[in-house]
Amino acid sequence: MSKSRRSVRFQHRSDGRRPSISDASDAASDPGSPSKNGVVAQPATIPEEKTEAPPLDEYQKKKQTFITRTIWTFVMIAGFFIAMFSGHIYIIGLVTAVQIISFKEVIAIANVPSKEKNIRFTKSLNWYFLGTSMYFLYGESVIYYFKHILLVDRVLLPLASHHRFISFVLWIMGFVFFVASLQKGHYRFQFTQFAWTHMALYLIVVQAHFVMNNILEGMIWFFLPASLVITNDIFAYVCGITFGRTQLIQLSPKKTVEGFLGAWVCTIIFGYFMTNILMRYKYFICPVYDLGSNVLTGLECDPNPVFVPQAFEIPEWTGFGRTFYVAPMQFHILLFATFASLVAPFGGFFASGLKRSFKIKDFGESIPGHGGITDRMDCQFIMGFFAYMYYHSFIAVFKASVGDIIEAAINGLTVDEQLEVLRGLSKYLYNQGAVPESVLELLSTELQRH
């Protein structure tokens, strides 16, 4: 026979019934509760400890979260600077890892129903399309920046020459396999997954790819936009808690107009001084053509004119007529800081709306105390995309490179014409004293033999 449960008391029930003996004994432990002899019972120590325990537990939980968040903040900062100064290849690897993890986090929040519906190949197709997209994007960058290496290699030349067609074939194979895997009764879900995957590829993989291109154009085009976004986020928080009053947007109730505008001004000031520091070091302003370089080996190049101080005159009619010297980059940084302050935060608002639609707090738990990688990179993707577009529209200096000449010769000339170019270049180099006569004679003999 089961034991009686008459003495079990549920704290949350309040149905107006008469108190039992156990209720009376429990009530005796409450302050001001009279006992049978009329004496007011004093509160017991154990119930007091139970009432005080939850606040202590909550405090300890917040304290532990704060400590974990702080530790991992410094870990991320240290890892970032170590990778940046170790060389461009390491920071490219870091961006690639962020790209893959962010894609995984975004896909994961919409991929749960596939288990319930027992649909095969959903996750496999997601990763296949990711691999295809990265092959196309990274291949485009490698061919653009290192064509002088790829186009003279017998094995790599066909891959470089037909890269776009190969990428298209890879994607179309995934497309055909997707259509063939459609299951009756699940069409809507599968097409939703297909669209969700390609949205994630565009918003994350494509934009992160342009961040990698920024690194190859010069470390400053990667570090400066990233630091502007981080600085703006910090100043938005400081200005918001200091004098914020007016709510900015419903998606982020803690964001205020005052904090938004105050962070804009502070970010411009930070950007001006940070740019002035970074322009002094060629490791930051030089494009990279050797992925083995690092802060110790350094880089050498002719600086982009945007980093060279130029004379600017203030007209006499203004009353402040004078000539001063300033690098044009100091004017460009005003637009970079403005975008980082007024537009890039909407990448974070977009991410907040996405999380609210799925009723989740964070995209993942990749970083203890911070949530997922996507939670930290939501503004960085759109900022890096802007930096790439702005640089190539207003700052980049386009001139023929060795890779461009080799590509034009290989794709636009016949073999006989290529030999004629080689013969002419050899004579020119001999006349300039760049090669000895023995080299010219040996080359002429070999060319005549062929």
What integer is the mean pLDDT of 57-74?
78
Answer yes or no: is pLDDT of 113 > 90.
no
Answer yes or no: is pLDDT of 17 > 50.
no
| Domain edges within the chain | 58-119+183-311+323-395, 402-446
Answer yes or no: is pLDDT of 46 > 70.
no
First to last CA, the chain: 106
List the beta bridge partners of residue 139. none
What integer is the mean pLDDT of 414-425?
80
**What is the structure's pLDDT at 118?**
64
Residue 116 banded pLDDT, cuts 50, 70, 90: low
**What is the model's pTM?**
0.74
Q: In sequence order, what are the residues at sequence separation of 6 or more whose Cβ sits closer than 8 angstroms to the Cβ of residue 174?
A: 125, 128, 129, 132
Angle at 294 between CA 289 and CA 299, to 5 degrees: 50
DSSP, collapsed to helix, strand or coil, labels residue 371 as: strand
Q: Are 399 and 124 in contact (CB under 8 A)?
A: no
DSSP, collapsed to helix, strand or coil, labels residue 219 as: coil
Q: Is residue 225 packed enough to be buried (19+ CB in 10 Å), middle (13-18) or exposed (0-12)?
A: buried
Answer yes or no: is pLDDT of 131 > 70.
yes
Type of residue found at 292: G
Alpha-carbon distance values, 108 to 52, 99, 111, 116, 372 (Å): 40, 14, 5, 14, 12
Beta strands in 156-268 (DSSP E): 247-249, 252-256
Nearest to 295 by CA among 101, 28, 95, 91: 91
**Joined tokens for residue 68:** 């974990």
**Joined tokens for residue 445:** 């003999």
Residue, of 184 and 14, whose pLDDT is higher: 184
Q: What is the biggest distance separating any 2 CA atoms in the chain, rounded to whole angstroms?
A: 126
Report percent pLDDT > 70 for the chain: 83
